[in-house]
Structure 1
Amino acid sequence: MQLPARFQTLPAYAFPRLRELLDPHPGGGEPIHMTIGNPRHASPPWVMDVVAEHAASFANYPQNDGTDGLRAAIAGWIDRRYGATVDPAGQILPLNGTREGLFNAAVAICPERKNGTTPVILTPNPFYQVYAVAALAMGAEPHYVPATEATGFLPDYARLDREILDRTAIAYICSPSNPQGAVADAEYWRTLLNLAERHDFRIFADECYSEIYRDRAPTGALEIAQEIGADPERVVIFNSLSKRSNLAGLRSGFAAGGPKTLAAMKQLRNYAGAPLPTPLQAVSERAWSEEAHVEASRARYATKYDIADSILGEVPGAASPQAGFFLWLPVEDGEAAALRLWRETGVRVLPGAYLSRDVNGANPGRGYVRVAMVAEEDEMARGLTAIRDCLYA
């Protein structure tokens, strides 16, 4: 049975594709996995205690819109982190991880037509692959906008033709960006918010890496939206405990935005969503209410930035990121580099083209590999040294 035609343009997902590339070949040493962005720092020590305290509630269906305590904790965090005020009852929706929200928000919000024609959904290129799948699922036209060194590794949506912008229903933006680690500053957000107002589209801001940074906390979309008095419906932010609190397996995130947008997302959740189990909502409530474990993890990432700078500092174009935990390393050909690295050293990295799309014969990820700095510091240092000596000697 074939997939619908609109999905047949999708390449294989990145990680099965990587296994097909590497697994037929023996590795050249003890494997060092630097492909998946799965944090390996310690989770908060109290997680299982909170689960056990609320275990009896596994017997009951959880609240679809999240508990009052969880929504209040998220609203409190947004206020402390960004100085932005949101209504816990009407402007926050807890999620089973942000991938659920990034997809379902498009399902709930994207119109069938925009200005009488097929709507466009803008996505950076390279990008988190759920953006494109959401566009295709809605019958919208995904429009891939290069996020390259020339544009500061963020998409320059303001340079698009007016015809594209007038058809745009949604613009995805990831800051700090995956895979490049670039950060949208306040001026970038102001420009994008004003563009969205002029052309009447929504911004879906994927901010999952916002709490991993060097010295200065990244500016947030909601922070600038409230600062300039933007329409509250203009932007939805998405965040998660996966990276912030090293709780990737908890599958806990949230969406926050205008009340009409959130009402549409909640209505879809009523029919097609799966709320987070109540004990996991209790864990999430505490995690959003505490910062000590986040600060401890961020200090370790600061050390990892220093390790990367020390080992790769002489490699042209290999600067470690402004934020997040990925290195976006320039190579001649990402697939060839990943295969060579695996066969000669046992280090596994992800070809950048697997996170990108060909547009007019060019793929902005082809000349890169993505390297996740999630392993223990000594293992990461061995992996980066092998990368340097194999690919850049």
Structure 2
Amino acid sequence: MANPERFSNLPEYAFPRLRTLLSGIEPGGEPMVLTIGEPRHGIPDFVAPIMAENIALFGKYPPNEGNPPMLAAISGWLSRRYGLDIAHDQITSLNGTREGLFNAALALCPERKNGKQPAILIPNPFYQVYAVAAAAVGAEPVFVPATADTGHLPDFAALSADLLDRTAIAYICSPANPQGAVADEDYLERLLTLAEQHDFLIFADECYSEIWRDTPPPGALATATRMGLPDRVVMFNSLSKRSNLPGLRSGFAAGGREAIRQLRQLRSYSGAPLPLPAQMVSAAAWNDEDHVTASRALYQRKYAVADRVLGNVPGYQPPAGGFFLWLPVPDGEAAAKTLWREAGIQVLPGAYLSREVDGQNPGQGYIRVALVATEDETERALERLKQTIFE
């Protein structure tokens, strides 16, 4: 029987909370929405022709795990990007990574770990589906600070051995949403060693992996494979950020055969398969890097804009990857209201992406700013933002 009390302590989702916060406040300038991580770069030119060419495939039920062309394209991309040799049965398509990050917990989290309630480790701040997944499986969500003191990545090794021994899953996002921090190979190796020592899985949320400043971020599955521990990781990625196709709802999970078998089995009952025309578009997108390179160059130009405009703001930290700025302010909600009222700029209070632990919310003193608009729009917005709350 379902237990609705599992979800009773979940706060309202971030964007409805923001609408409530700003309700009744008139924007004090040309509205500029910098809240949601929805890419606004152009979609690849090949999308419409391929969709049209395969339009009749809407008349067929699609394979839940992905059709052969899509699986081959993902496998090929994993080889080119990470040097991985991944068979088709180590991959499953997803209806976006959020669906997979949730369903993987349902498929792979045990009811008991070493005779106790399992724990799921979650960076704090974090992508909110991680906490909902933990609630759905009856695990204890453990929010691990990912602050400036820890390099904006969670220090899982600081947790007690007793807690780690009942840990079933640790979520990690790199580049991190919202901070833009990248887990380097040393970090990933330490995490994998910890996972092997205490027998837990790593769910690597890598949907921002192709948006980076200087160097491509390493992959958790590639690092695990090099260490001889490929079964410790399930990695997740999608075309939303990489290819500016959030509405396609096309993602994938890859990992050890048994983990992917169990995820496929669950999704055969509960998952929403990607329509076949969308799978054909997805195959083309994973096979093409030119559009990714062009889009990344636009983000790198916006990194330079942010550095130029905000570089002298106390506490400003240039993101290593992703497309968010994580800006320190005295109070995130107050800053969000001031920016909307005085400048017409909409940002997200950092506390809406975090959870209070021991009386402390690590996002309370931040706002998240999405660099998804054009370069010119971004520069105008950041100039107004700086003048409004930092000068």
Tell me the TM-score range normalised by the shorter chain. over 0.9
Q: Give the letter for the 2:342 counterpart.
A: E
Q: Distance in 2 between matches of 1:342 and 1:165?
A: 43
Name the residue aligned to 1:205: 204
Name the residue aligned to 2:100: 101
Name the residue aligned to 2:311: 313
Name the residue aligned to 1:147: 146
Counterparts of 1:352-363 in structure 2 under 5 Å?
352-363=350-361
Name the residue aligned to 2:46: 46
Q: CA deviation at 1:139?
A: 0.4
Q: Give the letter for the 2:16 counterpart.
A: P
For residues 27-83 of structure 1, what are the alpha-carbon distances to aligned partners after superposition, in whole Å with 9 as ceiling and x for unaligned? 111100000000000010110100011110101100111101110110110010011
Counterparts of 1:238-249 in structure 2 under 5 Å?
238-249=236-247
Check the 8 A contact 1:350/1:370 in 2, yes or no: yes
Identity of aligned pairs, percent? 63
Q: CA deviation at 1:377?
A: 1.1
Q: Distance in 2 between matches of 1:149 and 1:215?
A: 21
Name the residue aligned to 2:217: 218
Q: Distance in 2 between matches of 1:127 and 1:117?
A: 25
Check the 8 A contact 1:175/1:183 in 2, yes or no: yes
Name the residue aligned to 1:237: 235
Q: TM-score, normalised by structure 2?
A: 0.99
Name the residue aligned to 1:76: 76
Counterparts of 1:106-185 in structure 2 under 5 Å?
106-185=105-184
What SS does structure 2 have at the residue aligned with 1:122?
strand
What SS does structure 2 have at the residue aligned with 1:177?
coil
Q: How many residues align?
A: 390
Q: Give the letter for the 1:304 counterpart.
A: K
Counterparts of 1:364-375 in structure 2 under 5 Å?
364-375=362-373
Q: Distance in 1 between matches of 2:112 and 2:244?
A: 40
Q: CA deviation at 1:320?
A: 2.2
Name the residue aligned to 1:267: 265
Check the 8 A contact 1:312/1:319 in 2, yes or no: no
Stretches of structure 1 that go unaligned for 5 or more consecutive residues are none
Q: CA deviation at 1:270?
A: 1.0
Q: CA deviation at 1:275?
A: 0.6
Q: TM-score, normalised by structure 1?
A: 0.98
Q: Distance in 1 between matches of 2:226 and 2:16?
A: 43
Q: Give the letter for the 2:50 counterpart.
A: V
RMSD (CA atoms): 0.9
Name the residue aligned to 2:294: 296
What SS does structure 1 have at the residue aligned with 2:143?
strand
Q: Distance in 2 between matches of 1:349 and 1:3?
A: 34
Q: CA deviation at 1:3?
A: 7.7
Name the residue aligned to 1:250: 248
Q: Give the letter for the 2:360 counterpart.
A: A
Stretches of structure 2 that go unaligned for 5 or more consecutive residues are none
Name the residue aligned to 1:91: 90
For residues 327-358 of structure 1, what are the alpha-carbon distances to aligned partners after superposition, in whole Å with 9 as ceiling and x for unaligned? 00000000001001110000000000000000
Q: Distance in 1 between matches of 2:3 and 2:138?
A: 14
Q: Give the letter for the 1:172 counterpart.
A: Y
For residues 67-108 of structure 1, what are the alpha-carbon distances to aligned partners after superposition, in whole Å with 9 as ceiling and x for unaligned? 0111011011001001111111x1000110000100000000
What SS does structure 1 have at the residue aligned with 2:336?
helix
Q: Give the letter for the 2:304 counterpart.
A: D
Check the 8 A contact 1:121/1:135 in 2, yes or no: yes
For residues 238-291 of structure 1, what are the alpha-carbon distances to aligned partners after superposition, in whole Å with 9 as ceiling and x for unaligned? 001000000000000000000000000010011111110000000000000000
Q: CA deviation at 1:215?
A: 1.6
Q: Distance in 2 between matches of 1:285 and 1:10?
A: 37
What SS does structure 2 have at the residue aligned with 1:370?
strand
Name the residue aligned to 2:337: 339
> Are 1:34 and 2:34 matched, yes or no?
yes
Q: Distance in 2 between matches of 1:326 and 1:120?
A: 29
Check the 8 A contact 1:21/1:339 in 2, yes or no: yes
Bigger drift between 356-365 and 2-11 goes to 2-11
Check the 8 A contact 1:334/1:352 in 2, yes or no: yes
Q: CA deviation at 1:382?
A: 1.1
Q: Give the letter for the 1:333 counterpart.
A: D
What SS does structure 2 have at the residue aligned with 1:63?
coil
Q: CA deviation at 1:5?
A: 1.1
Check the 8 A contact 1:96/1:274 in 2, yes or no: yes
Q: CA deviation at 1:140?
A: 0.4
Q: Distance in 2 between matches of 1:143 and 1:113?
A: 16
What SS does structure 1 have at the residue aligned with 2:64?
coil
Q: Distance in 2 between matches of 1:197 and 1:386?
A: 49
